[in-house]
Chain A
Amino acid sequence: DAKTTQPNSMESNEEEPVHLPCNHSTISGTDYIHWYRQLPSQGPEYVIHGLTSNVNNRMASLAIAEDRKSSTLILHRATLRDAAVYYCILKDSGAGSYQLTFGKGTKLSVIP
């Protein structure tokens, strides 16, 4: 599986935007970029995914670099409920490719 690199931890003030970076220099053409988050004492939760173009949904935005070697998850206005571990994962879109392999992620702390 192609690897991703994320900072171990980040802090943000409440109600400010948060930009969570992810490097994936060995990404292949068929890899989608997935983001999940895990709130304390809960299972991981799907946030967003994309291939080449930037993506928006109700939870977050995903900005993908033109060369696809990095991406940024953007939370537009952090709340205390956004404090979680955020995982950036590359997933092959090929037929029969089912695995999601989790790394260590970025632990986001939100300061009131």
Chain B
Amino acid sequence: DAGVIQSPRHEVTEMGQEVTLRCKPISGHNSLFWYRQTMMRGLELLIYFNNNVPIDDSGMPEDRFSAKMPNASFSTLKIQPSEPRDSAVYFCASSRDGVYGYTFGSGTRLTVV
């Protein structure tokens, strides 16, 4: 089991550019979560999907953020346009029905300059 796979591990981009973060959940897990972690705000849930359908996106900070899950094995989190305050570590996690233990990926460290 390769676990939850996130790419890229690190991303440095200029303000105003589009950023796409990618996540491959564990096979058989039907719930997927995107979190953001900063020193100031800790771990925040941005959005989660169940069976590829977005269930709650109330944590998405602004319309600049969007997330998709086109199939059970892939999800993206897009920021367009990016701003320096979006700099954070973004984690993807998956679970089975949101009931059992969640498995997190290693995260993507995003730096917007």
Q: Interface of A with B (CB < 8 Å)?
A: 34, 36, 42-46, 49, 93, 96-104
What would be 23 A-B contacts, judged by CB atoms less than 8 Å apart?
Answer: A34-B101, A36-B102, A43-B104, A43-B105, A44-B43, A44-B91, A44-B104, A46-B101, A46-B102, A96-B55, A98-B31, A98-B33, A98-B56, A98-B98, A99-B45, A99-B48, A99-B56, A100-B45, A100-B93, A102-B35, A102-B42, A102-B43, A104-B42
Query: Main secondary structure on chain B at its contact with chain A?
Result: strand
- In whole angstroms, how far apart are the Cα atoms of A103 and B104 in the complex? 17
CB-CB under 8 A from A44, the residues of chain B are: 43, 91, 93, 102, 104
Chain A interface mostly: loop
- Provide the B57-99 mask, 1 if CB < 8 A to any CB of A, else 0: 0000000000000000000000000000000000101010011
User: Which residues from 16 to 66 on chain B have a C-beta closer than 8 Å to any C-beta of chain A?
Assistant: 31, 33, 35, 42-43, 45, 48, 50, 55-56
For A93, what are the chain B residues with a Cβ–Cβ distance below 8 Å? Answer: 99
**Alpha-carbon distance between A49 and B101 when the two chains are bound, in angstroms:** 8
B-side residues, CB < 8 A to A, are: 4, 31, 33, 35, 42-43, 45, 48, 50, 55-56, 91, 93, 95, 98-99, 101-107
